[in-house]
Structure 1
Amino acid sequence: MTQASDFEVIVIGGGPAGATAAADLAAKGHRVLLLDKGGRIKPCGGAIPPRLIRDFDIPPHLLCAHANAARMIAPSGKVVDMPIEGGYVGMVNRDTFDEFLRERAERSGADRRKGEFERLEHQIDGPTLIHYVDADGRAQQITTRYVIGADGARSKVGKQTINGADRIPCVFAYHEIISIPDQMSGDFDPSRCDVYYQGHLSPDFYAWIFPHGSTASIGVGSAQKGFSLRGAIKDLRAASGLDINTTVRTEGAPIPLKPLKRWDNGRDVLLAGDAAGVVAPSSGEGIYYAMVCGREVASAVSEALETGKASSLKLARKRFMKAHGKVFWVLGIMQHFWYRNDKRRERFVQMCADPDVQYLTWQAYMNKELVRAKPAAHARIFLKDMGHLLGLSPS
């Protein structure tokens, strides 16, 4: 490269992955632009584990609620409560949470602009040219050495540069944010996350009611074409007694459930977050993995800048999958098998009543590692799981 660039790195998209990558790179002294179109809030239950709060220094005021239990609801209506012993799941509102992360990137030294990415152009012996439309609707151009595409599951950056990015499998998620008055009737609990494994609410995923302090998120996901997500939420609100609550806003978006096989183009582009497909199968959890991905992507791009070797970009996926690939594999198998029909969903919820399952589930979720400390518990779960798979366990 013989020409100077306006920035060393341009990050496209200011969600948790992009904002984290921009903050980390700027903190290392790199010239970074965070380009985000703004005005969009992703549909999300908003749950974050203690590991995220610790690792990314999330201040307490961003937590709009603390959930200390989950309730699993089977197709038959059977309820299994899973209390969290000695801990909690933090709940965040994505509008304030994401904005905090973008502001932190700016405080770390990143330049921040509002604009919508259009396309990138490779110049001979020169930096990469980014075309975007600014907040006033004017066409703009800017140059960079590296591009981080953190612009969601239908990433424009990915489609233009990474083979297979246009074919990433997705679940479409939709939720409604509703108001919660101080005095609530019915079964809603402001300290509990309710998860519905019922085929009429989602034929291949699940529905949820998550507390958010003065509001709640009622959502559903499904990859089945033609399935009415809005209709499912209408039914869920009616069944839970929340149909009389005021709707604050509604949001929908595709959610990827499988990491792409390649995140970089071998030259100047690296994907992060939903664009890279790092949403956990089965649970649909994305915030933690997006931020970890953003951190790994920032580290790889920083190495590429320091060494001049674009081959360093591939380290982001390699390191991420080494740390979390096994968890994604296990969760993918769970979703493929247990979410297939209501009979299996019923058995899945039944398994969640087991103390060993609850302990290992919460330990893995809270700490983001497969738990190895209790081999006897793993053995018991394996035997019980095989019983359910073979239909030998009582209903």
Structure 2
Amino acid sequence: MNEIESFDVVVVGGGPAGSTAATDLARTGRSVMLLDRAGRIKPCGGAIPPQAIREFDIPPHLLCAHINSARMISPSDRQVDMPINGGFVGMVNRAEFDEWLRTRAAETGAVRRTGTFTELVPTDNGQVIVRYETRGNDRPVQVQEVRARCVIGADGARSKVARQTIPGADKMPCVSAYHEIVRSPKNGEGGFDATRCDVYYQGKISPDFYGWVFPHGETTSVGVGTALSGFSLRTATDDLRKAAGLADAETIRREGAPIPLRPLDRWDDGRNVVLAGDAAGVVAPASGEGIYYALAGGRFAAQAAEAFCATGDVRSLKLARKQFMKAHGRVFWVLGIMQRFWYSSDKRRERFVSMCADPDVQQLTWEAYMNKRLVRAKPAAHVRVFFKDLGHLLGIVSAK
């Protein structure tokens, strides 16, 4: 009988969270296996802020577009432009972006495997057997096994790792997201702007989230999200394409996926498993932004796994959630309140888009988004925004 291959850490899932965790652990000298499914492309708008580019060494060639502004469209079709003065948001195609991250992990020293995770089997010595399936073109499915001291579950919003090990993970609330990748029109054709993201806050497009048109250079992501059961995402996307002048654009592919609504209360099993990325629920409320937070969550999970491997203390696994929430929990709290209130009706969406026309709101929004922190250096602007926001909440300020 062959000896089972052993690793310090097995990372399940090769998206931004898993690949970042594998890269960081390999850099510390840990033996790491990165397991990912074949042919997986994550449905995603593809936006990454400058902070992600700086913090995670993302090379410029991966950016397929530079976005210089956002246009917010209200239920009454009012359009409010929010220019990014002196900055930009980068756009990536997830197929190329994720593959580059996985390749970087392998080049750093992680062992890369392609397969479908099936289960974790605890052992008597505190380690765990990771089982996964592989298949070839002319071969039947084969079950593979490796041994690990620690497992990082980074396998998405419906994480099999999380469901097997973390109580309550199967009840994670999600938004259902769907998008169509279409051929981009020429810049300026039919009002299309290759440097602008359009966001539709209209109940007919999404009753509780929003619709988006995100240019990716040669292609554009057009999609919608909702947590409302029975709402037709395809019909809403058809309506969105008509509204955006993209009804006749060539459709390249269609994709759908769940997006978590909030972080799980627990990310570790108290034994040898810790979660990262969508598996942990780290997608920003209101915006649905996930790439930066997946990268950050992967890094925190790697730090927790490294501490656990170094000390054997299972309490180290809690560091991933503790450090993430310390860094980003306040932002998630604020965005969660915003989503629950402003997205609840078209009347409130109208007022929300009206607020976006305010220069103070625009400045603080972009600074917070691009640098991934709440802006504290401009107290006067915060005071002005507070009273304007209060006026909108009370209906004192007109939405027009």
With the shorter chain as reference, the TM-score category is over 0.9
Which residue type is aligned with residue 347 of structure 1?
R
More displaced stretch, 39-48 vs 86-95? 39-48
Distance 1:388 1:59, change over 3 A: same
Do 2:180 and 2:222's aligned partners in 1 also have CA atoms closer than 8 Å? yes
Measure the CA separation in 1 of the matches of 2:184 and 2:284.
Answer: 29
**Paired residue type of 2:208:** D
Shift of 1:5: 6.3
Deviation for aligned residue 1:135: 3.4
2:387 is matched by which residue type in structure 1? L
The residue aligned with 2:335 is 331
Separation in 2 of the partners of 1:20 and 1:205? 29
1:31 and 1:249 map into 2 onto residues whose CA distance is 37
Structure 1 unaligned regions, length at least 5? none
**Among candidates 250, 256, 259, match of residue 260 of structure 2:** 256
Aligned partner of 1:370 in structure 2 is 374
**How far apart are the structure 1 equivalents of 2:173 and 2:155?**
16
Q: Which residue in the other structure is 2:386 paired with?
A: 382
SS in 2 for 1:186: helix
- Residue of structure 2 equivalent to 1:100: 100
Whole-Å separation in 1 of the counterparts to 2:187 and 2:334: 41
Given the two structures, how large is their TM-score scaled by the length of structure 1? 0.98
What SS does the corresponding residue of 1:320 show, helix, strand or coil?
Answer: helix
Contact 1:11–1:34, Cα closer than 8 Å, also in 2: yes
Q: Is the aligned partner of 1:166 residue 2:187?
A: no
1:135-157 deviation line (CA, Å, top 9, x unaligned): 33211111111000000000000
- The farther-off stretch of 322-331 and 232-241 is 232-241
- The 5-angstrom pairing of residues 13-162 of structure 1 reads 13-125=13-125, 127-136=127-136, 137-162=141-166
Distance 2:287 2:125 in 1: 45
Cα separation, 2, equivalents of 1:10 and 1:148 = 6
Q: How far does the alpha carbon of each residue in 1:167-187 deviate from its partner, in whole angstroms, 9 at most, with x for none?
A: 011001000000124465211
Conserved in 2, the CA contact under 8 Å of 1:114 and 1:135?
Answer: no
Q: Do the aligned partners of 1:272 and 1:290 also contact (CA within 8 Å) in 2?
A: yes
Residue correspondence of structure 1 range 144-223 to structure 2 within 5 A: 144-182=148-186, 185-223=189-227
Instruction: Name the CA distance, whole Å, in 2 between partners of 1:34 and 1:361.
Output: 36
Q: Given residue 198 of structure 2, which amino acid in structure 1 is its aligned partner?
A: D
Letter in 2 for 1:174: Y
TM superposition shift of 1:274: 0.1
1:316-327 residue pairs with structure 2 within 5 A? 316-327=320-331
What's the offset of the Cα at 1:38?
Answer: 2.3
Question: Aligned AA for 1:151?
Answer: D
**8 Å contact from structure 2 (residues 126, 271) kept in 1:** no
Going from structure 1 to structure 2, the CA distance change for 1:183 and 1:347 (only over 3 Å counts) comes to closer
Amino acid at match of 1:106: A
Runs of 4 or more above 6 Å deviation: none
Cα RMSD (Å): 1.2
Calculate percent identity across the aligned residue pairs: 65
Q: Is the 8 A contact 1:4 1:127 kept in 2?
A: no
SS in 1 for 2:45: coil
| TM-score calculated relative to the size of structure 2 | 0.97
Q: Distance in 2 between matches of 1:338 and 1:224?
A: 16
Task: After superposing the two structures, state which structure 1 stretch, 77-86 or 128-137, moved more.
Answer: 128-137
1:4 and 1:312 map into 2 onto residues whose CA distance is 26
One-letter code aligned to 1:24: D
Q: Which runs of 5+ in 2 are unaligned?
A: none
One-letter amino acid of the structure 2 residue matched with residue 366 of structure 1: M
Q: Deviations over 1:217-255 (max 9, x none)?
A: 001100000000000110111122211110011110000
Instruction: Please list, as runs of the form range in 1=range in 2, the aligned pairs for 1:335-374 lying within 5 A after superposition.
Output: 335-374=339-378
- Whichever residue aligns with residue 262 of structure 1, its letter is R
Q: Deviations over 1:267-295 (max 9, x none)?
A: 10000000000000000000000000000
Looking at structure 1, the residues matched to 243 and 69 of structure 2 have their Cα atoms a distance apart, in angstroms, of 21
Question: Which whole-Å deviations, capped at 9, do the CAs of 1:181-221 have from their partners, x for residues lacking one?
Answer: 44652111000000000000000000000010000000110
Aligned equivalents of 1:133 and 1:4: distance in 2? Answer: 15
Q: Quick one: which amino acid aligns to residue 64 of structure 1? A: C
